[in-house]
Amino acid sequence: EAGVAQSPRYKIIEKRQSVAFWCNPISGHATLYWYQQILGQGPKLLIQFQNNGVVDDSQLPKDRFSAERLKGVDSTLKIQPAKLEDSAVYLCASSNLREDTQYFGPGTRLTVL
Amino acid sequence: GQQVMQIPQYQHVQEGEDFTTYCNSSTTLSNIQWYKQRPGGHPVFLIQLVKSGEVKKQKRLTFQFGEAKKNSSLHITATQTTDVGTYFCAPSNQAGTALIFGKGTTLSVSS
């Protein structure tokens, strides 16, 4: 079974630029999560989808962050414009509806200069 | 959401020594999951504890859930260099809900 795929793995941008990350969850997983992990901290939820609907986006900075999962499969997370404090690893995870286990992708490491 | 505190934040041991990390909550937890994140890697699921007083073992790892379901622990017997990483506990309310991670416990092992 293929795992969660994310791209790109690394991205370096300057502040005020925009950036987009892509995630393809494990086949059949209805729930998809985006987490932000700042160095030295645990992952923090940004947004949770179930199929193509948003379940929880309470911690998403909506003035600059957006995410979509139009067909209920893969998802994109966008930051526009980026700030220095957005430097972090962006992790995508997925799970099925029957269990709690979340499977994480390798993450995208974003550096904002 | 349910917040947990993990202690210690960092632990260094000599290879072969035991290691324990504790996860404490001020509220009763429905269940708790443990994840391991290797340096430069992503969190990997280890186990889920659901029942009061539950104890589960995975080779050298022993996981416990307190009787009051307010605390949990992970004990590693005879650490190896492959145990290096950050261990996170994360409570969840029900299947399909997001996890709340603390800072975790970062374990380093010297040979």
Query: Taking chain B (111 residues) in consecutive chunks of 10 residues, what is each chunk's mean pLDDT?
Result: 85 98 91 95 95 97 96 98 97 72 94 92
Best B47, B99, B100, B103 residue to mutate vs chain A (most A CBs within 10 Å)? B99
**B33 Cβ under 8 Å from any chain A Cβ:** yes
CA B12 – CA B106 distance, rounded (Å): 8
Give the nearest partner residue to B99 out of A99, A102, A105, using CB atoms. A102
C-alpha distances in angstroms, A77 versus A12, A47, B76? 16, 9, 37
Give the nearest partner residue to B33 out of A50, A100, A106, using CB atoms. A100
A33 has a pLDDT exceeding 80 = yes
A103: chain B residues, CB-CB within 8 Å? 45
**B21 Cβ under 8 Å from any chain A Cβ:** no
Residues near B92 by beta carbon (within 8 Å), at least 6 away in sequence? A100, B30, B31, B32, B33, B98, B99, B100
Q: Tell me: the pLDDT tens digits for A73-108?
A: 999 999 999 999 999 999 999 998 777 789 999 999
CB contact under 8 A, B103 and A43: no
CB contact under 8 A, A45 and B98: yes
CA distance B101 to chain A (A): 5
Interstrand relation of B71-76 and B19-24 (parallel, antiparallel or unpaired): antiparallel
| Average pLDDT value over all residues in chain A | 95
CB A111 within 8 A of CB A11: yes
CB B33 within 8 A of CB B24: no
CA distance A30 to chain B (A): 9
CA A89 – CA A106 distance, rounded (Å): 9
- The DSSP string of chain A is ----EEE-SEEEE-TT--EEEEEE--TT--EEEEEEE-TTS--EEEEEEETTEEEE-TTS-TTTEEEE-TTSS-EEEEESS--GGG-EEEEEEEE-TT----EE---EEEEE-
